[in-house]
Structure 1
Amino acid sequence: MKTVEQLVSEARARIEEWDVARLIATPDAVVVDIRDVRERAKGFIPGSIHAPRGMLEFWWDPTSPYHREVFAGPGPFVLHCAMGWRSALAAATLQDMGFKVAHLVGGFEAWQAADGDIEMPVPKGAIKSGAPG
């Protein structure tokens, strides 16, 4: 039996890993937040796309009825979760499917520790800034 820590370690050994500095220095990177909605509700990396871990492969696969066109783009795509374990596993899975992706080492926690900007979701029913009201 393998532990989750072993699985993550094996995934990290074969995927591309980005740190926060590289992500900031690559403005065309497509940041994909794979955390669940409760985590994202506490804040997210501005401009990131939310793709919950449970739907990631289905949204990415162009032959899936659930495919999302945003994942057909050129990238580079950088996945992140809270601390980098789920995103390492997800990146390895997408790589196994033939997609070129990376993951953010340390995840959202590393982003916060580096004082990266954080955006908060607009509450349902609220009027977005700049919208007619």
Structure 2
Amino acid sequence: MQIKSTKELVADASRAIETLQPEQAQAFVDDREVLFVDVREPAEWQGGHLPGAIRVPRGQLEWAADPASSSYKPDFGRANRIVVYCAAAGRSALAAKTLSDMGYRNVSHIDGGFEAWRKSGMPIEEEGTPA
């Protein structure tokens, strides 16, 4: 049995989903029908995040996005577009592919993740973790 590397898994996911450059994603920040989902860990979130994003660590994504789960976040059901991001785009590619596999449409992720967003000079919120 051949084991796929994480690099291969991320590459496969990236081919199956839409990838946005930070500037393209920034155009959606003020759109209330677009949900930004930060799949980084809580400590990463506290170091800054995209304006209006919700925090759903990668390991909790499927439950947060499943309407039948007690952990469901209703924001998923209200969004017409979902933009996922992580630190550098690996976790977000996998997360966006998972959401697409779950049946969500119009899902994308940010190329280069939060680091590319920050380096592009895009706006960042730096308050603590929301409830």
Give TM-score, length-normalised by structure 1. 0.87
Quick one: which amino acid aligns to residue 121 of structure 2? Answer: D
Q: CA deviation at 1:43?
A: 0.9
Instruction: Quote the RMSD (CA, aligned, Å).
Output: 1.6
Quick one: which amino acid aligns to residue 126 of structure 2? Answer: M
Q: CA deviation at 1:22?
A: 1.1
CA offsets, 1:8-61, max 9 Å, x none? 000000111111111122231321111000111111111111111111110111
**2:15 is matched with which residue?**
13
Q: CA deviation at 1:122?
A: 3.9
Give structure 1 regions of 4+ aligned residues with deviation exceeding 6 angstroms. none
**1:130 is matched with which residue?**
none
Note if contact 2:35-2:75 (Cα within 8 Å) is conserved in structure 1: no
Work out whether 1:85 is the aligned partner of 2:87: no
**1:108 is matched with which residue?**
114
Work out whether 1:49 is the aligned partner of 2:51: no
Change (3 A) 1:123 1:19: closer
User: In terms of Rg, which structure is larger?
Assistant: 1
Q: CA deviation at 1:94?
A: 1.1
Quick one: which amino acid aligns to residue 119 of structure 1? Answer: E
Give TM-score, length-normalised by structure 2. 0.88
- Cα distance in 1 between the residues matched to 2:7 and 2:38: 21
**2:99 is matched with which residue?**
94
Change (3 A) 1:23 1:62: same
Matched residues, percent identical?
40
Q: Secondary structure at the match of 2:16?
A: coil
Structure 1 unpaired stretches of 5+ = 125-133
- Cα distance in 2 between the residues matched to 1:63 and 1:53: 18
Change (3 A) 1:64 1:120: same
